[in-house]
Every structure is written in structure tokens, then in C-alpha cells.
């Protein structure tokens, strides 16, 4: 495992070769986002237990066994995931592991252990033997409703925004236009045909008892399916065009999702692909609209770990249903979008286990305040792959909170799937490798010099950016700006910016990381000052910080509990501005003394008139 992590390029190449060699089209888990908290009741409402998997199918002509058929769930209640995989057999278990892209867990045995733990964590996971895939059908209530205060805050917030950068048709936004991978947020509505979704949910012959299939148009014979209609993003009575408020909220969602994926080499965009511009193995279309009645009305649904897979377009789009999220509350929607996209890139749920290791809550709601009272919480944090609707801060996780049931390193897994973002701003990591801060103003005869960097990227907790500047004695002003909060309550930034000012030998002379999340600067530093007593070269260090500790207090009853978060996923973009005393200030040249203008000359007297001409001679 360590060797794989140390060589991400080799890992990616080996991963691609495994896919080609196996000649398999991966089928991944279908997932629905949780819509409401499960509360303190640790018992999950049981879904129907499918127990129709048949292992005795035999070819009548050759006598050779066929793969099993049917469906099976309830692994958590039965506690028999290990026995089931043994019955499935080594070859088919390895095929399922491969389809779920679990080989990066280490060797095959480690991957099978990971699969067993995944099955054991939920009654809602369904093994579909016909296509060798896992699905999950969450039994949470179908709607999460925003309070009147939240709804009012949305409109108050968007009414004070500057003109939206998004085009009037919902296109035009792109976070990293040159990135290899694309996450297309499709707000425009769509009619989906010819996908796996159409086969699973628009085939009325697949079941005679469920009403799930009645929501698709023109039910068709088995294996054909019919169309799935997703309406466009709509917050008013006009579904045919986007209002100013709708454009604002679409842009709010795009910015928040872009921040979640900012450390990685992926473009979060509202632009559709043009022709064959994108390969479907490296882009995800995420349809945002409607209520998903055709699939039972969840918050969202996605296949798992399809990126880089041949034929991935057959399993698109991933869906988020905003009418079940507020309705249409931007915070709820962006959390669902990043959550579902996380599944596509291979991430599992972050939940809570008991002392014996059994999952008691499939979706962790986070630290104090993550229970719907984030406005008054000192710290309110939740994992993106848990339930972060009510958390002030949401980040990727590696299960640092007490009793986490999933120790998967989200950041590592995402970087393995889609790569880290390239460094956009030159920077060093120590005072010995520090890069001079680009000058953006002042100098010359000015008393100060200003330097700044724009849209720099801190990719993970190990990233440290150090900049140098030469200053005269005096006051230095430092500001680190991050993505602003939405309505001052919900942070869209994943980066809690920490800044240190260091002296010429690296001694700290200034430290800035305001605690809390409700300040006007959100997770940025605001404008801070430090006094320099002597002139010389100084340094500014920028890194991501945590707030408190995820294990600082005893863990109360799930789903809420801990007092902070670490710097693990404190990553994203920042702008840095520093103003310092000008060490090379030049004195202005004195203006020359004005030369007095001479008084105007006196006029010469008028000449005397000429003598009269002599009289002519007589």
C-alpha cells in the first residue's frame, strides 16, 4: 500500500492496465443521498430483504455453472457478509472487487476485506448478481425542508449580490478550463435515454408491484427502457428561463462545489461538452433539477467509482434533486452535488460505529452545531460524505472523529483518481526556498510597497507556501482572503487560512488565524498588522489550519458530538495581500525655486514730430 501511495503515476498506469486486461465494464453502486438526520435512534428502518440470489444455475447443455442471479441485501442485520462472499466464490468476489475499483486498497485480500466491511455496514446495500454490482436504496424520509428563516436568508443574500458571471442560459462558468477531468453541473434540464438508469428505473416489466417505474415516460419492454426527464433548475413559476435570482443561486452552488474540488485536477463547469471534446471516462455529467420521483424521490443518486472506466457514459448522469433539498436551498444542493460526485470518484459514506465495530449511523452529521443550529455553534463541521446540510463547515474526511466507521482517506483517493491540481503560483515551502512576493503596487517614492498572489492553491495539509519581501522598519499589513461565506453562516471555503510572519532567521513575529466561522472574513484572516523593528528580509507563510481537535471531547451519543476539525482537508484557494514599508524609498527631487517674472518695460516716449518741411523757394 505504501509503495502505491509513494508512486501515484505508477499506480495510475497499473490501474489503467488492470482495466484493459480485464475487459470488464465496471458496474458500481447506485446511491441515494440521505435527506434527513436519523436522530438518536440507532436502528435503521429495514428495507425489503431480497433473498433470491440463486447459485445453482447450470447450463443444461454443458453442465457448467452459470454466474448467480437475483438480488441480496440486509447484510448488516444478518451479519453474514463474510459467509456470503465465501458462497459467491473467489473468482466472482474478485470480479466484484474489480468492478468497485477496490484494488487500490492494496493486495486482493485487502480489497476483499474492504468489500466485506462495506457490505457489513448497511442493510441498504443491495448486491445485484445479474450485473455484478452493488446498489443502495436509503430508507430516509424523502424531503428535507428549510426553515422560514433559511428561505428568507436565501433571497436576502442573493438580492445583495453583484451581477452574476454566469450566462443567462446557465453556461459560462469554469473553475479550471485546462484541467483533464470535467465535472459538468447541468442546470439546463435534460431528457435521458439509452443509459443504465433507463434500464433499471424505466422498465415496467422489471417489476409488477413497485410504483417507482410509473414516473418514467412511455414504459417500454424489458431491456429497452424509456426516457427520464429532468426539468431545469427552477425556483419560480417560470421553468422556461432563468431569473436573476436563479442565476445567482446557480453561481453560488458552482462556486462552492468548485472549492470542494479546487485541490484536484478537475474543471467544475456549467458548460456542456462540444462534440467529442470530452471522453466520458474523465468527465461526469451531474444533472440538477426536479424531484426524482422516477427513482423514489431521494436527494441524489449516483454510481460509484466510474471515473476512468471504459463505457462510463452509459452510467451517467449522476442526479441531484433540488426540489427535495429545501426546496432549492443552495447550501443543501451544493452539499448533495459534491457528495454524489464523491461517489462517482470512488468515495463511500462517513458514518458512526459502536464499540464492537458495527455501524450504527450510516451518515455522520458532524460536530456540535451540525444538527440544524449552526448559527449559534462555536464549531460546526461535518464530512462531505456524511450529512453536511446543517454544518457551517464541510470538508473531505479520513475518519478522524471518534467512532468513525470509515477510515478511507478521501483526499488520497480523489488525488489517485483525478490527480492534484497543478501549482498555479510559484512558491517555496521554507524560508530557504521562499519566492519573492510579486509586487503589485507602491515602491519608488511611495512610503509602502504592496505584494499579492491571486487564486493560489493549497492542495492538502502538507502544503506550505512561503513568500519573502524586503522591508524597512514599520508596520506590515497582511490579509488572507478565502471564498466568502454564504449568508455569513455557511462557509463555502474548505480552507481555514493560517498566516505567520517570520523574521530574517525564521522566528515567528506574527501569527494570524482567527477562530470561529461567523466573522465577516469567514475562514480568512481579515486585515492583520505586525511591527518590524529593523529593516531586512522577512517572510510570510500560508497554510491550512484546523479549529480545535476532532477528538478533544468525549464522544456523546451519535450522530453529533465532537469539538473541532484538524488541518487534514483544510485546503482550497486563497488570495494574499501584504503591504510593507518601502526599504528603497527615493526622496522626490525638490522643485526648483520659481524665477520671478520681470516687470514690463516702460514705454519709450513717443518720438517728436518731424520738423516742418521748408517752404518752397519763391
At residue 600, what are phi and psi to the nearest 5 degrees? -65, 140
**Number of helical H runs and strand E runs in the chain:** 11, 27
Beta strands 474-481 and 572-581: pairing type? Answer: antiparallel
Give yes or no: residues 119 and 174 share one domain.
no
Out of 130, 149, 174, a domain closes at 130
Range of the domain at 308: 165-197+228-346
The confidence score (pLDDT) of residue 496 equals 92
Give yes or no: residues 449 and 311 share one domain.
no
363 within a domain of the structure (yes/no): no
CATH for 297:
3.40.390
The confidence score (pLDDT) of residue 592 equals 60
Give yes or no: residues 525 and 482 share one domain.
yes
What's the number of domains the chain is made of?
3
Out of 331, 346, 361, a domain closes at 346
- Alpha-carbon span 234 to 240, nearest angstrom: 9
51 within a domain of the structure (yes/no): yes
Give yes or no: residues 125 and 243 share one domain.
no
To the question of pTM greater than 0.85 for the whole model, the response is no
Give yes or no: residues 437 and 530 share one domain.
yes
Out of 346, 380, 402, a domain closes at 346
Cell representation of residue 411 = 483526499
CATH for 502:
2.60.120.380
Give yes or no: residues 105 and 169 share one domain.
no
**pLDDT block averages, 10 residues each, the chain of length 618:** 37 42 36 34 35 61 65 73 86 82 71 84 68 59 54 59 76 92 95 81 46 42 64 90 90 94 95 74 92 80 84 87 88 92 89 82 71 42 87 91 89 94 85 92 86 92 95 96 78 91 95 66 86 96 88 46 78 94 78 56 44 44
Query: What's the Rg (C-alpha) of the chain?
Result: 32
Give yes or no: residues 233 and 337 share one domain.
yes
Give yes or no: residues 439 and 521 share one domain.
yes
Give yes or no: residues 441 and 570 share one domain.
yes
Beta strands 283-288 and 318-320: pairing type? Answer: parallel
The confidence score (pLDDT) of residue 9 equals 45
Q: Helix H segments across 176-318? A: 196-201, 244-260
The confidence score (pLDDT) of residue 356 equals 80
Give yes or no: residues 442 and 570 share one domain.
yes
Give yes or no: residues 170 and 126 share one domain.
no
- Alpha-carbon span 417 to 284, nearest angstrom: 13
Amino acid at each position: 500500500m505504501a509503495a502505491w501511495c509513494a508512486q501515484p503515476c505508477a499506480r495510475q498506469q497499473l490501474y489503467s492496465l488492470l482495466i484493459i486486461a480485464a475487459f470488464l465494464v465496471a458496474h458500481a453502486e447506485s446511491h441515494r443521498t440521505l435527506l434527513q438526520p436519523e436522530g438518536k435512534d440507532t436502528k435503521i428502518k429495514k428495507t425489503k430483504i431480497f433473498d433470491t440470489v440463486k447459485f445453482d444455475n447450470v447450463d443444461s447443455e454443458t453442465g457448467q455453472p452459470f454466474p448467480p442471479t437475483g438480488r441480496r441485501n440486509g447484510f448488516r442485520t444478518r451479519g453474514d457478509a463474510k459467509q456470503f462472499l465465501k458462497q459467491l466464490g473467489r473468482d466472482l468476489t474478485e470480479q466484484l472487487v474489480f468492478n468497485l475499483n477496490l484494488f487500490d486498497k492494496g493486495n486482493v485480500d485487502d480489497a476483499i476485506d474492504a468489500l466485506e466491511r462495506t457490505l457489513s455496514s448497511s442493510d441498504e446495500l443491495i448486491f445485484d448478481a445479474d450485473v455484478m454490482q452493488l446498489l443502495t436504496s436509503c430508507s430516509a424520509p424523502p424531503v428535507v425542508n428549510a426553515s422560514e428563516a433559511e428561505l428568507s436568508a436565501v433571497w436576502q443574500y442573493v438580492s445583495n449580490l453583484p451581477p452574476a458571471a454566469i450566462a443567462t442560459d446557465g453556461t459560462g462558468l469554469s473553475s479550471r478550463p485546462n484541467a483533464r477531468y470535467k465535472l459538468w453541473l447541468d442546470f439546463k434540464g435534460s431528457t435521458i435515454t439509452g443509459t443504465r438508469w433507463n434500464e433499471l428505473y424505466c422498465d415496467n416489466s422489471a417489476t409488477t408491484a413497485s410504483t417507482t417505474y410509473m414516473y418514467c415516460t412511455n414504459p417500454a419492454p424489458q431491456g429497452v427502457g424509456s426516457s427520464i426527464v429532468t426539468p431545469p433548475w427552477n425556483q419560480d413559476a417560470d421553468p422556461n428561463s432563468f431569473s436573476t435570482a436563479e442565476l445567482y443561486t446557480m453561481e453560488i452552488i458552482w462556486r462552492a462545489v468548485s472549492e470542494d474540488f479546487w485541490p484536484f485536477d478537475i474543471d467544475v463547469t456549467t458548460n456542456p461538452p462540444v462534440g467529442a471534446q470530452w471522453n466520458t471516462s474523465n468527465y461526469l455529467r451531474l444533472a440538477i433539477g426536479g424531484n426524482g420521483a422516477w427513482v423514489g424521490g431521494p436527494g441524489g443518486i449516483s454510481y460509484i467509482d466510474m471515473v476512468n472506466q471504459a463505457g462510463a457514459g452509459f452510467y451517467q448522469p449522476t442526479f441531484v434533486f433540488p426540489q427535495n433539498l429545501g426546496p432549492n436551498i443552495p447550501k443543501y444542493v451544493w452539499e448533495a452535488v459534491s457528495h454524489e460526485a464523491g461517489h462517482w470518484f470512488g468515495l463511500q459514506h462517513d458514518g458512526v460505529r459502536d464499540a464492537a465495530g458495527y455501524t450504527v449511523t450510516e451518515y455522520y452529521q458532524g460536530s456540535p452545531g451540525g444538527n440544524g443550529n449552526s448559527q449559534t455553534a462555536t464549531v460546526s463541521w461535518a464530512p462531505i460524505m456524511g450529512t453536511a446540510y446543517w454544518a457551517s463547515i464541510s470538508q473531505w474526511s479520513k475518519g478522524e472523529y471518534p467512532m468513525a466507521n470509515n477510515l478511507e482517506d478521501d483526499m488520497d483517493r480523489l488525488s489517485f483518481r483525478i490527480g492534484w491540481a497543478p501549482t498555479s503560483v510559484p512558491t517555496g515551502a521554507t524560508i530557504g526556498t521562499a519566492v519573492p512576493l510579486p509586487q503589485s503596487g507602491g515602491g519608488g517614492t511611495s512610503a509602502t510597497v504592496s505584494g499579492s498572489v491571486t487564486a493560489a492553491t493549497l492542495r492538502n495539509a502538507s502544503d506550505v507556501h512561503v513568500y519573502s519581501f524586503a522591508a524597512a522598519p514599520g508596520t506590515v499589513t497582511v490579509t488572507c482572503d478565502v471564498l466568502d461565506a454564504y449568508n455569513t453562516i455557511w462557509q463555502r471555503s474548505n480552507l481555514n487560512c493560517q498566516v505567520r510572519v517570520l523574521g530574517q532567521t525564521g522566528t515567528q513575529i506574527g501569527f494570524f488565524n482567527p477562530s470561529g466561522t461567523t466573522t465577516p472574513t469567514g475562514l480568512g484572516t481579515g486585515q492583520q498588522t505586525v511591527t518590524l523593528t529593523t529593516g531586512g528580509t522577512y517572510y510570510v507563510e500560508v497554510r491550512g489550519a484546523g479549529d480545535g481537535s476532532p477528538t478533544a471531547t468525549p464522544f456523546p451519543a451519535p450522530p453529533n458530538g465532537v469539538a473541532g476539525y484538524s488541518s487534514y482537508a483544510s485546503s482550497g484557494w486563497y488570495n494574499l495581500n501584504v503591504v510593507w514599508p518601502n526599504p528603497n524609498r527615493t526622496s522626490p527631487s525638490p522643485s526648483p525655486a520659481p524665477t520671478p517674472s520681470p516687470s514690463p518695460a516702460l514705454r519709450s516716449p513717443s518720438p517728436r514730430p518731424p520738423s516742418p518741411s521748408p517752404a518752397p523757394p519763391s
